Amino acid sequence: MKLIFHGDDFGLTSGVNRGIIRSFGEGLLTSASLIAAGEAAEEAMSLARDTPGLDMGIHLTLCDERPMIHPADLSSLIPSGDHFPSRNRLLKTILVRRIDYREVEAEWRAQVEKTLNAGIRISHLDSHQFVHLFPGLLSICLKIARSYDIPFVRGAMVDQASLKAGLGRLIQWTGLAIWSRLYVSRLLTSSVRTVPSVGFLMAGGRLTRDVLLETLAALRSKTSVSTIEVMLHPGTGDAHTLHRYHHWGYDWKRDLDLLTDDGLKNELAACGIQTTSFWKER
């Protein structure tokens, strides 16, 4: 089995950026995905250019953060203000059919092109709060992946069900896992691949070394999956990130500590598990 240790939210804040770069330089992390309109996106892109070997993707954004395109040109997505709506409001807009999918495609293309124009090669697409898997949005995501020859899109969840994450999180994960199995898998084609992911259920610093090793052991015994993405959110735990995103309930430093845990490295090596990246698996 091979693992892609991945950091979401590159570009969110400087503290997140530092956590991702440290996780790559000192730990197990091999991949990150950029929030192209994040407050620290320019810094993240500079760090990516200066960090050969860090596999880069786009963390497509359509909720909570600022857009790349002027809000006046995204009226179905941002009817007022200058930020995207919450995930729940976005889903409601989709379900009542008030969304203009042309705006979605234009915004996501702008996010991809900003990164490409910065000289960064993109190997994969995922999204903030998994919105790229929403009805109508996945087809746009896949279209963009094909247009820019991006080989991988996040689309399969293989965490092991557990109440340790809390009932609410377990319900969210169950719905997402079923949706990805019944809907997402049918839209994937040979030109766009997915690597099964773990980490959604215990996101935000809740994934421990023991839980990860137990999950990997269960997957090795039950499935024939050869490569798995371990999805994490490393950061330094700085005051600014904690203040701005306290409502997430994340502990970014715990994910950083997990990725730089020598004990985990040794356990994986003893099991014959290697790290890899999206480009290596293409």
CATH number of the domain encompassing residue 38: 3.20.20.370
Give the pLDDT band (50/70/90) at residue 160: confident
Number of domain units in the chain = 1
pLDDT of the residue at 190: 67
pLDDT at 221 over 80: yes
CB 221, CB 188: distance < 8 Å? no
Higher-confidence residue of 158 and 31: namely 31
Q: Among 30-34, 73-77, 181-185, 205-209, name the one with the lowest average pLDDT.
A: 181-185
Domain extent for 182: 2-281
Q: What is the pLDDT of residues 245-278, one digit of tens each?
A: 999 999 999 999 999 999 999 999 999 999 999 9
| C-alpha closest to that of 200 among 149, 263, 128 | 128
Give residue 182's pLDDT.
79
Say if CB 53 and CB 44 are below 8 A apart.
Answer: no
Look at residue 191 and tell me whether its pLDDT is greater than 80.
no
pTM: 0.94
Is residue 78 pLDDT above 80, yes or no? yes
Q: Are 252 and 13 in contact (CB under 8 A)?
A: no
Q: Give me the sign of the Cα torsion angle 236, 209, 56, 137.
A: negative
Report the percentage of the chain scoring pLDDT > 90: 79
